[in-house]
Structure 1
Amino acid sequence: MDLLVLGGTQWLGRTLAAEGAARGHRVTCLARGEAGSVAAGTELVRADRSEPGAYDAVAGRDWDAVIDVTRQPGYARAAVAALGDTARHWTFISSCNVYARHDEPGADESAALLPPLASDESTPETYGEAKSAIEQAYRETLGDRFLTIRPGLIAGPGDASGRSGYWVARMARAARDGGPVLVPDILDAAAQAIHVDDLVRFTLDSAERRLTGVFNAVGDRTTFGAWLDGSRDAAAYDGDVVAIDTGWLGEQGVVEWSGPDSLPLWIADPEWNAFLDRSNAAAKREGLRVRPLGQLLAETLAWEREQGLDRDRGAGLTAAREAELLATLTA
C-alpha cells in the first residue's frame, strides 16, 4: 500500500509511519522535518504546510491511503484540494474535543459537535472547533472515502505531555524514596485512555480495509482509583496515598489535567466530568482492541524509567511542591 502520512515526525504521526513501514507499506511522510526524524524505512518529503505549493511534491500520485493528524483547518483544506481526487482512502485523526458537551457518561459518536472554526488557524483555545472544521472539510470533499477517528486521552510510551505517565512514575518514585503520595479525592471519577499502539493498530487496520465512518477510539472506562491501584501495582508501591479535597487543592493553586502544578486525570469542571467516559462500542465492533490497564501502565512505566523519573515534566507536581502541600496539611 502506498501510504502518505501528513506529518510523521512527532509522537502519533511517527508511530503511525513506523508501524506502516513495519507492515510492509511504502510510507511517505510530508513534514517540515524540524520536530524530529522520520521512522526508519519511511521517506521524508520536506514541506511547510502553511506555504503555497506545499503538496506539489506528492500531488498527482495515486495514494492508497492518506492519514492526517493536523489541528490546523487551513492545512486540511489545502491538502484535500491538492490530493483529494487521487486518494483512494483518507483518515483523519480528530479528537473527542469536537463534541459540544462532555457531561454525558457513555456518549457515542452521535453526540452534537462544536461549530466548525471558520479560520484557517487554530489556537489551543479553539482546538475542538478546529478539529470539527477539519472533519467537515474532509467529509464534504471525500464522501465515502473518508474515515474519522476520535481519540480521547492518548497514553503510553512517548507521551511528552507527561499526563498519562505521571501517576505510575510518581508511584515508582515513592517506591524508591518513600511516600506518602498526594492524590485528589476523586477515586470514583471516570478515567479512560487509549494506548498509542492500540490507536495506531486500529487506524492502520481500518485504512487497509478502507473502513469509513466515525469512531471514538478510546480506552475502556475505568476509575481514577483503579488507575492509581494499577500504578501502585506496576511500581510495587505499598505505602500511603493521601486523598485531598479538591476544593482545598484549588485554593492552593493546584490545577486540573495538565501543565505545571497540575494533577493529571483530575477534571474539576462539572461540565467536563464525562470527558474520560465515552463509548468505544462502535470502534470495538470494527476491530478496536485495547490492552488491559495494567499492561498499559507497565509499558508506560518502563518508558518513564528510560526518560528519567526525576526529569522535568510537562504535567504534575514537582517533588518540592508536593512536599510543601503535604506539610501545609499537617501544619
Structure 2
Amino acid sequence: MIDRRQWLQLAGAAAAAWVVPGLVAAAMPKPAPPAKRLRILILGGTGFTGPHQVRYALERGHTLTLFNRGRKTREWPGDVEQLQGDRNTGDLAALKDREWDVCIDNPTTLPFWARDAGQLLKGKVGHYIFISTISVYAANDTADADESDALAQYTGPDAMRETQDSVRANMALYGALKARSEAEVRHWFGDTATVIRPGLIVGPGDETDRFTYWPARIARGGEVLAPGSGEDPVQFIDARDLAEWTIRMAEQRAFGTFNATGPATMLRMRGMLEGIRGALKSDAQFIWAAADFLEAQNVSPWGDMPAWIPAEGDSAGFARRSNKKALAKGLDFRPLSATAVDTLGWFKAQPEERQAKLRAGISPEREKELLALWKSRA
C-alpha cells in the first residue's frame, strides 16, 4: 500500500504532467531495445488499446500492418500499412498470401472470428497474441485464483453462429464466447499462442467512463458518495500499460495465458479514491455509505459505483485475480496519479455534450439525494 507521503510525491509529478504531457510516463523505467525488429499485424488497432500498441511498436522500431474496416482514421507517428476488410462478413481477402512475425488480435468476441483468422493465418504468423478478458472465468468467489481457474461454458445451440447482436442482447454470453474464442486460437496456433486476459481497462480514451467517473467527480470537489467501507479491493489496468506490455510480450515470444490486471500489490477502494484526490489536488470529502444501504437504494456496484464490487460471497475474488505470471513477464504499471490526471485531461478535452453526461456512475442530483438519505439514516 502507498502511504500519504508517497501519494503527495506522486501528486506533484502528476500535476507537472498536466502542464508537460508525458512527464510521468517518461519517469518510468525504459525497457531495453528489442533484439529484433518484428513485422506485426494488428487486427483492429483503432479502438481503445490499439492506438497505444501502434505508437509504442513504432517507437520500438517495428513494422506495422493494421487490418480493420477502415471506419476510424488515425494519424500515426510513422509509416503504418492499412488493410481493409470485415471479419463479421468473412471478408479477410486482404490478408491472403501474406506473412508476419506476430499477429495481435484485439477485437474478437465471436468464436467464428477466431476460427476464420486461424484458418487463414495458420503457418503465416510465428506468434498469435489474443486479447481476451478476465470475464472468461466461471466464478469469482475465490481470492488469488490464477489462470488455471475454471472457465465459463457456452451452453447455447451453436457458438459459431452467435453474433454481436446476440451478445448485446445477453451480456452473459460475453465471457463464455471469449472462452470459446480462446479455444479456437489454441486449436489453430497451439504452443505459439499467447492469451492475455485483461481486467478493467482504464485511462485516456476510455469511452465507457468506468474509471473516468471518479477523476471527473472528484475534480468537482465537495461531498462525494463513496461505496462500502473503503476496504473492498479494486483491480484495473491503464490501457497504455496493457498495450506496451503486449508489444514486449511479442518481442519476448512469451507464450501461454496471463491475467493482465493491476496494480502489482493490493489496492483498496479507499486507496484508489484518496490517490485520485491527491493527484488532482481536490478538496473532495468522501462519504462512505454501507453496501447494504446502496443495495436498498438500487445503487448498483460497477455501474452506479464504477470499479467497485463488494468483496463477499460470489464476488469475493472478483478484484483479487492473481497477476503473478504477468508480473514475472515484465508487466508494470504507471502510477495511479498519472492515470487519474491523464484520464481527466482527456475527458476535459472532449466536446461539451460528451462531458455533460457520464456513461457510468450516478448523476449529481441522484448523488445529492443519496447523501441526504445516508446522513439521515446515520
- TM-score after normalising by structure 2: 0.80
1:142 aligns with 2:189: yes
For 1:263 and 1:202, the matched residues in 2 are separated by 29
Q: 1:270 to 1:289 in 2, by over 3 A?
A: same
Question: CA 1:18–1:131 in 2, change beyond 3 Å: closer, same or farther?
Answer: same
Q: 2:349 aligns with which of 293, 298, 306?
A: 306
Q: Is the 8 A contact 1:67 1:90 kept in 2?
A: yes
User: Is 1:213 aligned to residue 261 of structure 2?
Assistant: no
Q: Residue 103 of structure 2: SS of its match in structure 1?
A: strand
Q: CA deviation at 1:240?
A: 2.3
The residue correspondences of 1:1-40 to structure 2 (distance < 5 A) are 1-34=38-71, 36-40=72-76
Distance 2:282 2:309 in 1: 25
Determine which structure has greater relative contact order: mean sequence separation of CA pairs < 8 Å that are 6+ residues apart, divided by chain length: 2
Residue 289 of structure 1 aligns to a residue whose secondary structure is coil
Residue deviations 1:30-81, cap 9 Å, x none?
A: 11122x22451323222111223x2211121111110112111111111111
Query: How far off is 1:3 after superposition?
Result: 1.2
Distance 2:219 2:147 in 1: 37
Letter in 1 for 2:245: F
**Match of residue 50 from structure 1:** 88
- Is 1:169–2:226 an aligned residue pair? no
Q: Separation in 1 of the partners of 2:364 and 2:135?
A: 31
- Residue 74 (1) aligns with residue 112 (2): yes
| CA shift for structure 1 position 323 | 1.7
Task: Return the match for 1:108 from 130, 140, 146.
Answer: 146
CA distance in 1, matches of 2:316, 2:210: 17
Give the % identical residues: 36
1:1-331 aligned at under 5 Å gives the runs 1-34=38-71, 36-40=72-76, 41-52=79-90, 54-69=91-106, 70-116=108-154, 118-120=158-160, 121=162, 123=167, 124-174=171-221, 179-220=222-263, 221-258=266-303, 262-268=304-310, 270-307=313-350, 310-330=355-375
- Deviation for aligned residue 1:193: 1.1
C-alpha separation in 2, matches of 1:91 and 1:329: 47
Q: Separation in 2 of the partners of 1:88 and 1:296?
A: 34
Deviation at 1:22, TM superposition (A): 3.0
CA distance in 1, matches of 2:359, 2:315: 21
Deviation per CA, 1:134-181: give whole Å up to 9, x if none.
11001111112111111111111111110112112211011xxxx111
Distance 1:150 1:291 in 2: 19
Partner SS, residue 288 of structure 1: coil
| Counterpart Cα distance in 2 of 1:11 and 1:39 | 15
Is contact 1:18-1:42 (8 Å) kept? Answer: no
Give the superposed CA RMSD: 1.9
Q: Greater CA deviation, 128-137 or 229-238?
A: 229-238
SS at match of 2:190: helix
Return 195-204 or 19-28, whichever deviates more: 19-28
Q: TM-score w.r.t. structure 1 length?
A: 0.91
Give, in whole Å, the separation in 1 of the partners of 2:247 and 2:194: 11
Structure 1: 5+ residue runs without aligned partners?
A: none
Q: Deviations over 1:88-135 (max 9, x none)?
A: 110001111111121211111121112257413251221111111111
- What is the rounded CA distance, in whole Å, between the counterparts of 1:276 and 1:304 in structure 2? 25
Q: Gaps spanning 5+ residues in structure 2: where?
A: 1-37
Alpha-carbon distance in structure 1 between the residues aligned to 2:116 and 2:205: 29
